[in-house]
Amino acid sequence: MTGRPLWKTALGVALTALMLFPVYWMVNVSLTDAGDLRRSDPNWFPSDPTFDGYEAALSQQLPSLGTSLVIGFGSIALTVAIAAPAGYALAVLHLRGGRTLNFLLLVAQMIPAVVMAMGFYAIYVRLDLLNTVWGLIVADSTIAVPFGVLLYATFMAGIPRELVHAARIDGAGSWRIFTKIVMPVSRNSTLTVALFAFLWAWSDFIFASTLNRAGEYIPITLGIYQYIGNNTTQWNAIMATAAIASLPAAILLVVAQRYVAAGVTAGAVKD
């Protein structure tokens, strides 16, 4: 077995460093004193780091971070509650029109978010859901639900039919089979759907800026946008806010990496 050529390793390291440089510069600026930010020769390394930016970010943006967490976990709950039974119905119960529904779910993922935002705005005006956290949870879930249904259906179609038949022989109904057998077996798919639902809700800006611009509680993406508009001098605080906002997504990706890989590839190969 031959080793990887040195030039490929060097190329991979160079490309990785290039892609991660904005992240490094964000952290570097967040640790730089406000008086050094306007220097003609920038500090490439935080030689005299300060945490004033993080203190300002936490004192001013903590409510927005909490709002984004509520929206993210609310989107997870709503997405799994809708996508899991729908995937079960398509894969195990073999509903009529399943192929047509799969096609419509694929089409739904191609609709631009800005188009959906306009539609939600017209609906929310009538339902009095503008500028509410619940409205954002519902809107953000519409991005994750089609993906979740397709992923659940793909995985559940690969569950051995013997498990389902044995449960039915023992007298279990469809709902009990779903809750006691199918869902526990689909743990990796559930974690994958939950992770993507959280990331989409956490990083959403279009729905937030359209449906919750004047809300009492705003997500962190809108908070950063307003923070930049109202404060263009404390760039260390702005970058500190962006760094803090990146932590939950980064931690979740690292922790759930192997579950996501298993959930995405599940059902791709059958015996």
- Sequence-distant (6+) residues with CB within 8 A of 30 are 53, 54, 236, 237, 239, 240, 242, 243
Residue with tokens 């993080």: 54
- 270 has a pLDDT exceeding 50: no
pTM, 2 dp: 0.83
Q: Per-residue pLDDT averaged across 68-91, rounded?
A: 93
What does the alpha-carbon distance between residue 233 and residue 65 come to, in Å, rounded to a whole number?
22
CA 171 to chain centre: 39
Model confidence pLDDT, tens digit, residues 19-38: 989 888 888 888 887 777 66
For each of the domains in the chain, give its residue range(s) and CATH number, in order of start. 52-265 (1.10.3720.10)
- 260 has a pLDDT exceeding 70: no
Model confidence pLDDT, tens digit, residues 117-153: 999 999 999 998 899 999 999 999 998 999 999 889 8
Beta strands per DSSP E along the chain: none
Model confidence pLDDT, tens digit, residues 161-190: 888 888 888 888 888 888 888 888 888 889
Tokens matching residue 254: 């690292």
- 91 has a pLDDT exceeding 90: no
